[in-house]
Structure 1
Amino acid sequence: MEIFGSTFDDSVFSEARERVCESLSSYNAKLCEPQWFCESAALDTDDSLEKQKVFKFRGDLALRQGNYQRALDAYSSCLQWIADNNLTIRRDVLEGMARCRTKLGQREQALELAELLNKEASNTCHLTSLLLLKVSIYQHFGCVGPQRSCLQQLCSLLPFNPWHWFNLGQTCLQLLDCDSDMERSSEAVNGESEEDQEGAAELTEDRVWLRACMCFIRTRLLLRILRQQQSSFVLQRSVKTLQITEEALQRLNPKEATLQALTEVMSEDLIPEKMREDYQDGESLTSVSLQSFRERWWSNVLLAGASQINGPQAKP
């Protein structure tokens, strides 16, 4: 009687077929001089792909050099030669144009380009890049309210990224530095409305203070987990950010009960398995169910108990 799994198929021991090596035609690599695309002769071609490359490279170089008008002109020319199915290059060029418009002080035009990118976004990578672009636009023009809204969306989309939480906390500190509640309210009304449509009452000093505490506590929790796997300059960056985070929390000065309550709420989902698998880059937006910042984080904080979550303790 044969033991199950003790026999082998004869094909396992048969000799491998001899591979036929076909002769390959010789290949001569194209050699290009540095910044060859800047020469006028580079456009002496009928190939639309080559023209696209030339204008794209010119735009990238000008943007890097800080010549934003020249970069914008090059990107605009490049856009005319991009094939309809080449969405990757199209998105890259549109983002470059938006950044040029921002540097040139053209806020509305930059936001219009961002809206084009928004309509074409199809996965989490697209949405992440778009939100980061909008953050840079609003930050450049000092629009703290809309900037905060975009950062909150980033924290909901990528909840285990400490840098988004840190930047959101810094933005809340900026709001706390505003002269009055009216100024904070106008930031939200005049800027881009949030998904959860927060009213002016939500932007009182106590609420903004509480959100700042939430963000820095979340940042501290995430960085403490991640630094165990880091080294070199990456670890140095995390350690430096942790130090800034601790200083921010000292400035906010929450009571011990508040600190414990917020730490418990903001650490509920920090499970290693979930941190590895949830919200993978490139996932289709149709399969991503995003909760608003208020629904996912703010409501949980309020449920933790108003008696425990109070303003800063009095300093001696």
Structure 2
Amino acid sequence: MEFNFDDSIFLTEKRCASQEKLTSYNAKICSPLWFEDAESDSDESKITQLKFSADYHYMVGRYDKARQKYQAILESLPPGGMCMRRDVLESLSRCHLNVGNKAEAVRVARQLFEQGTNEDHEIQGLSLLHHIYTKTEDFTEDLPILQRLVTFHPQYHLYWLHMGAVYQGLVARGDLSPACEADHHVKTFTCYLRAKLLLKFSQRTSGSFVKSNQLNLSEEITEVIEKMDFTLDEKDRAEKVRVKKFEKCTSVNKIKDILEAIQHFLQWCIHS
């Protein structure tokens, strides 16, 4: 028994009518930078025009003018425009950062994070905060942001690489107690080594182009590790620290054991 039907019997009159051939069509032609002087006939087209204009000025480096236009978009958006609002908030934060207004950039970025409704939104907000703190070398604020990002993607090598750079920056700042400095030094190596190992494991399933970039990055991590002063001086300084308030960092004996273990692990990782 055959069950062949003519598809036309399922088409409504409206759909059939829509298939009639067009007799003429006039394409809309836009001049370069049309959005700078075009007249808007509705709120929606006005927002679209402002978005094009803001993105253009951001692209060419006119961040203050782009900031004004992004702010105007936020004031015109309807309550339901979540996707557009998040895009504009991120762009606005980046404008503030590029003109040197860190405080306002952080405020807008935190607003973006707090308005998130799912995990992807949280990662977007945290990633923007990480970018701000990295560019302004605010290691103290950047560390907890990276720690939260790692909980979302523990196998992402760049988060571990960036966290290693943050711990290294905190050590280089020179205002830590000896015990905490030793602890941070250990964590620096741990993060760099984890980033290198994650890269090594991911190369097994990577394409040739991606693998080439990963190998280059792995070599750069190795060079960073080899250039670091890993002389275990932290052990001698840590042994002199007996103040109770520093005990929470890591015990002296534990630091010594970890440093010695990392020394052997480091040699294996570099030459493997």
- The TM tier, using the shorter chain, reads 0.7 to 0.9
The CA deviation at 1:56 is 0.9
Contact 1:49 1:81 in 2 (8 A): no
Distance 1:60 1:127 in 2: 23
Query: Partner residue of 1:115?
Result: 110
The CA deviation at 1:29 is 4.9
In the alignment, residue 82 of structure 1 is paired with which amino acid? L
Classify the secondary structure of the residue corresponding to 1:142.
coil
Query: Partner residue of 1:150?
Result: 145
Output aligned runs, 1:5-84, within 5 Å. 13-20=2-9, 22-24=16-18, 26=22, 29-38=27-36, 40=37, 42=38, 44-84=39-79
Percent of aligned pairs sharing the same letter: 24
Closer, same or farther in 2 for the Cα pair 1:158/1:233, shift >3 Å?
A: same
Distance 2:155 2:118 in 1: 18
Aligned counterpart for 1:221 among listed residues 194, 197, 204: 197
Classify the secondary structure of the residue corresponding to 1:132.
helix
In the alignment, residue 183 of structure 2 is paired with which amino acid? R
The CA deviation at 1:216 is 1.3
Query: Partner residue of 2:238?
Result: none
Contact 1:72 1:100 in 2 (8 A): yes
Query: Partner residue of 1:286?
Result: none
Distance 1:104 1:253 in 2: 36
Cα shift readout 1:68-87 (whole Å, capped 9, x = no counterpart)? 10110111111122221110
The CA deviation at 1:152 is 1.4
The CA deviation at 1:162 is 1.0
Distance 1:34 1:234 in 2: 37
Cα shift readout 1:178-201 (whole Å, capped 9, x = no counterpart)? 23316xxxxxxxxxxxxxxxxxx9
Q: How many residues align?
A: 234
Gaps of 5+ in 1: 1-9, 183-200, 256-300
Whose relative contact order is higher, 1 or 2, with alpha carbons under 8 Å and at least 6 apart? 1
Output aligned runs, 1:230-241, within 5 Å. 230-241=206-217
Distance 1:96 1:150 in 2: 20
Cα shift readout 1:133-164 (whole Å, capped 9, x = no counterpart)? 11121123221111122111111111111111
In the alignment, residue 125 of structure 2 is paired with which amino acid? L
Query: Partner residue of 1:171?
Result: 166
Distance 1:116 1:28 in 2: 44
Contact 1:52 1:79 in 2 (8 A): no
Contact 1:209 1:252 in 2 (8 A): no
Q: TM-score, normalised by structure 1?
A: 0.66
Gaps of 5+ in 2: 232-249, 265-272
Question: Are residues 1:209 and 2:198 paired?
Answer: no
Closer, same or farther in 2 for the Cα pair 1:229/1:116, shift >3 Å?
A: same
Q: TM-score, normalised by structure 2?
A: 0.76
Query: Partner residue of 2:258?
Result: 309
Classify the secondary structure of the residue corresponding to 1:19.
helix
The CA deviation at 1:17 is 3.5
